[in-house]
């Protein structure tokens, strides 16, 4: 089938897009445009996803390649249908969009002038196609400075679950926390100015026993520029402790409380604007074990879900800046497990062996979105709903709801080897960074699953 190239152009001169012109060869209009740079992309299936693949030049063979152009350049992007499904290509931030192409071998194109510097997303706008992998970046001018390697690791290790309390008697414990403001790695090519407890997001999992008396010392680092505090949902007292821990940079504030209720509880900074402090990473959990402790598990993991609100979308590299507008609109650009995009996929390994009983302490720092926590390929044998340890657990649960500022405990036996993906089953959130892996090793049992 022949290829028809349509030069689709926007009409808004504000952004420098070209007026509609004759696109067919041999036109008598006498009006033509010569692009300064041309890219040709092919739609295809690669790495198990729908993708764009570069056809020639420096992008040949590359999946969802970066398209780099100079400011002011006339850019032509050709799109060839390589898989026979319906597709288009668009750059929504610039208002540019092609026609749809449906037949394998068909083609279209769009032409525009790149008068705005910055990084812009190109994508297929057909429903579900971006989520399936069809998006990349158009970079106009010098891209933002990219992070070089892991500058500061703020991601919390999911294996850092502390020591079980066992059958010990109640004690008086002293727990020290430090509020810090540090520039950390959000992903391979992104940085963010996090606010943390003890330089990690989430803060440490604190493990105590019902009946313990606990003194909390909160020190706000002298390098901070903001007042910070801490509110424990496990505390019975003013503000959960926040009323007496508003610490200026360099100050230490303390309080003592008695743990009256067993369960898994969130803590977070509660200094106005509270949602801003939480979104920047100031949240964690405390596990208050019941008398006699919890039953033993072969593997325990600590996972919290959080949101970051930035001025740029999730596909832009470099230093990400906080956006109050997006926070108030409850529109996060990044969603993460344990602080960063790669925390549970590249940075840390969650591993178990077939036959192991796995327990996950899961919470939502938020500050705004409810999680539909799910593990693809597994069923929770037990769910301690709302992290209540005094209520009978739910059994045989596929997905469990956890509100912001809430928690749950899930347990399940792993029966078959493979990689199991932790998700929020609001699955478009995976495209903003929300995924984790649990790797199970052992011998396959064909009675359970047979490829």
- 3-state class of 324 per DSSP? helix
- 3-state class of 348 per DSSP? coil
DSSP secondary structure string, 109-129?
A: EEEEE--S-EEEEEE--STTT
Strand runs (DSSP E) across 47-148, as ranges? 49-54, 67-69, 74-80, 90-91, 96-97, 107-113, 118-123, 135-140
For tokens 């992290």, the residue is 387
CA geometry: angle at 343 spanning 337 and 344, to 5°? 75
**374 is known to lie in a ligand binding site:** no
Calpha distance 186→342 (Å, rounded): 8
Maximum CA extent, the chain = 92
**276 is known to lie in a ligand binding site:** no
**312 is known to lie in a ligand binding site:** no
For tokens 């010098």, the residue is 142
User: Which residues contact residue 392 at a Cβ distance below 8 angstroms, ignoring those fewer than 6 apart?
Assistant: none
**334 is known to lie in a ligand binding site:** no
**277 is known to lie in a ligand binding site:** yes
The CA distances from residue 236 to 117, 228, 242, 270, in Å, are: 53, 20, 11, 15
Count other C-beta atoms under 10 Å from residue 104's C-beta: 13
State CA 238 to chain mean position distance.
33
**Closest CA relative to residue 91, chosen from 75, 72, 107, 70:** 75
Calpha distance 346→187 (Å, rounded): 10
**425 is known to lie in a ligand binding site:** yes
Please, are residues 115 and 16 in contact by the beta-carbon 8 Å criterion? yes
Q: Which two tokens stand for residue 409?
A: 């405990």
**228 is known to lie in a ligand binding site:** yes
**Closest CA relative to residue 107, chosen from 117, 115, 99:** 99
Residue 360 phi/psi, 5° resolution?
Answer: -120, 125
Q: Which residues line the annotated binding site for Cu cation?
A: 228, 233, 268-269, 277, 282, 425
Feature table: binding site: 228, 233, 268-269, 277, 282, 425
């Amino acid at each position: 089938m022949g290829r028809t190239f349509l030069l689709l152009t926007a009409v808004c001169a504000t952004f420098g897009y070209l007026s509609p012109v004759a696109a067919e060869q041999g036109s008598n209009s006498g009006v033509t445009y010569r692009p300064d740079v041309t890219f040709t992309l092919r739609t295809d299936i690669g790495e198990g996803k729908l993708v764009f693949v570069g056809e020639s030049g420096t992008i040949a063979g590359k999946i969802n390649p970066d398209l780099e152009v100079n400011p002011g350049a006339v850019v032509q992007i050709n799109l060839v249908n390589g898989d026979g499904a319906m597709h288009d290509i668009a750059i929504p931030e610039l208002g540019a969009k092609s026609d749809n192409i449906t037949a394998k071998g068909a083609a279209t194109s769009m032409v525009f002038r790149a008068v705005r510097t910055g990084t812009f997303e190109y994508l297929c706008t057909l429903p579900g196609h971006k989520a399936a992998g069809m998006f990349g970046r158009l970079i106009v001018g010098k891209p933002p400075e990219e992070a070089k390697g892991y500058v500061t690791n703020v991601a919390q290790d999911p294996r850092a679950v502390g020591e079980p309390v066992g059958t010990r008697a109640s004690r008086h414990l002293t727990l020290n926390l430090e509020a810090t403001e540090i520039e950390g790695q959000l992903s391979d090519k992104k940085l963010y100015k996090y606010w943390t407890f003890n330089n990690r997001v989430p803060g440490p999992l604190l493990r105590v026993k019902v009946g313990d008396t606990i003194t909390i010392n909160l020190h706000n680092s002298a390098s901070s520029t903001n007042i910070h505090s801490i509110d424990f949902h496990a505390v019975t007292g003013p503000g959960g402790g926040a009323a007496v821990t508003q610490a200026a940079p360099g100050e230490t504030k303390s309080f003592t409380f008695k743990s009256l209720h067993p369960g898994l509880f969130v803590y977070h900074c509660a200094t106005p604007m509270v949602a801003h402090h939480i979104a920047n990473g100031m949240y964690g959990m405390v596990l208050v074990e019941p008398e006699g402790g919890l039953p033993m598990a072969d593997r325990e993991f600590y996972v919290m879900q959080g949101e970051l609100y930035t001025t740029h979308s999730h596909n832009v590299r470099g230093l990400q800046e906080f956006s109050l507008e997006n926070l108030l609109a409850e529109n996060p650009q990044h969603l993460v497990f344990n602080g960063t995009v790669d925390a549970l996929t590249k940075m840390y390994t969650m591993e178990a062996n077939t036959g192991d009983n796995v327990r996950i302490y899961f919470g939502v720092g938020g500050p705004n979105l409810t999680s539909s926590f799910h593990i693809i390929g597994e069923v929770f044998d037990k769910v301690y709903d709302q992290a209540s340890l005094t209520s009978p657990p739910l059994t045989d649960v596929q997905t469990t709801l956890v509100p912001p500022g809430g928690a749950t405990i899930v347990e399940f036996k792993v029966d078959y080897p493979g990689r199991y993906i932790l998700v929020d089953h609001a699955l478009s959130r995976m495209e903003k960074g929300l995924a984790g892996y649990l790797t199970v090793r052992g011998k396959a049992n064909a009675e359970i699953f047979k490829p």
